[in-house]
Amino acid sequence: MATKTKDKTLVVVQMTGGNDFMNTIVPFTNGHYYDARKKIVMKQEDVLPINDTLAINGNASPFKRLFDEGRMAIIQGIGYPDSNRSHFRGMDIWHTCEPDRVGSEGWLGLAIRELDPKSENVLTGVNIGQGLPRAMSVAGVPVTSISDLEGYGVMNQIEKEQLRDKALQAFKDIYGQAIGSGVVAEYIGKTGLDVLKGADMLGDVASNYQSTVEYADNSIAKSLKDVARIHLNGLGTRVFYTNHGGYDTHANEMPSHPKLMADLSGAISDFLDDLEQHDESENVAILVFTEFGRRMRDNGSGTDHGSGGGAFLFGKNVKGGLYSEYPSLDPSDWEHGEDLKHTIDFRGIYGTVLEQWLDLDAKPIVKGEFEQIKPFYI
């Protein structure tokens, strides 16, 4: 597939809370699934088959279109040994690639440092959302964080500084106890001013953007629209990050998870269509991940923290299809008698993206060598 010479860009979407992979990519002909899931289950008439054994949640019909077009890669059974069920610790492991100790450097922050070693562009890494994501945090590596692109453009300087201080305080409150106040203070001291400087450079982005794509009125659609606005302005951003919350479905999963699927799939589809409309789709790939899967058995109203989840890659230069193996649903294979076993290490997927898409050496970033897949044309 032909491509331009423009630098490749990675967009990372975090499904916060632990997505129910079995109700996303549904083993709709497997009896063990229906034996374990009595109430929190996708009926066969409510899914969109992609082969004889697996189907996409029917509420995520845009995913089915992208899969059929060859622009969606489904990574099955992603995880790591002895998966941690704590949201905070689990996400921290995914952010730092440090399952055996509390790490102090985010994997994307390390990638940004390699992409821009002299920190010449404070927009090399951009987070769309509140606070500063741990995955992008490395002392001395500037990352711009902004939650409302349109609103920021009309703020006065005092309001902007207050917003910056609020973001930095949120980072300090969340991570100070886990990684130490000294590490947090060093990070804030070296990068805090860059948060405001980078955001200032985005002041006119919203007004410069034109598109016929109509994004939905929900949080993830707004975030990806902001990613499109910044990317299409050609400001040199190589790594974008945003999150989509609400996936901690211990209760009321059947009314809430379908909406999450509809919102996420619609937003990603619209974003890719927006890039295509502007002839900017060939050099952008999207990685979607979550901190863990859910347990085999439901609890009557939802599902509890588990392991063996899934991740996704999207893009024009993504080789669509199924990667790795779907975890065994046979009860004799369940981990701890209730969880799906992972079939591929998440650090191998990070390594895949780092080496095959961003052309970086993954080993020092993911702390080792792990099995990779081959999901890209370029």
Task: For residues 280 and 272, give the distance between their C-alpha atoms in angstroms, rounded to a whole number.
Answer: 9
Q: Output 20 or 207, whichever has higher pLDDT.
A: 20
Predicted confidence at residue 3, as pLDDT, reads: 39
Q: Is the pLDDT of residue 353 over 90?
A: yes
Mean pLDDT over residues 200-221, rounded? Answer: 90
Task: For residues 191 and 28, give the distance between their C-alpha atoms in angstroms, rounded to a whole number.
Answer: 48
Q: Is the pLDDT of residue 140 over 90?
A: no
Q: Is the pLDDT of residue 1 over 50?
A: no
Mean pLDDT over residues 94-121, rounded? Answer: 94
Task: For residues 300 and 45, give the distance between their C-alpha atoms in angstroms, rounded to a whole number.
Answer: 21
Domains and CATH numbers, the chain: 9-366 (3.40.720)
Q: What percent of the chain has pLDDT over 90?
A: 72
Can you say whether residue 349 is alpha, beta or left, with left for phi > 0 and alpha for psi between -120 and 50 degrees?
A: alpha
Q: Is the pLDDT of residue 177 over 80?
A: no
Predicted confidence at residue 211, as pLDDT, reads: 95
Q: Is the pLDDT of residue 112 over 90?
A: yes
Q: What contacts 24+ positions apart, CB below 8 Å, involve 196-199? A: 196/160, 196/161, 196/164, 197/122, 197/142, 197/144, 198/122, 198/123, 198/126, 198/142, 198/143, 198/144, 198/146, 199/144, 199/145, 199/146, 199/152, 199/160, 199/163, 199/164
Predicted confidence at residue 2, as pLDDT, reads: 36
Task: For residues 174 and 166, give the distance between their C-alpha atoms in angstroms, rounded to a whole number.
Answer: 12
How many Cα atoms are found within 13 Å in the side-chain-facing hemisphere of 295? 17
Predicted confidence at residue 317, as pLDDT, reads: 98
Alpha-carbon dihedral 294, 299, 300, 301, rounded to 10 degrees: -60
Q: How confident is the model at residue 87 (pLDDT cuts 50, 70, 90)?
A: confident
Q: Is the pTM of this model over 0.75?
A: yes
pLDDT in tens, 245-269: 999 999 999 999 999 999 999 999 9
Q: Is the pLDDT of residue 352 over 90?
A: yes
Structure-token pair, residue 21:
């992979």
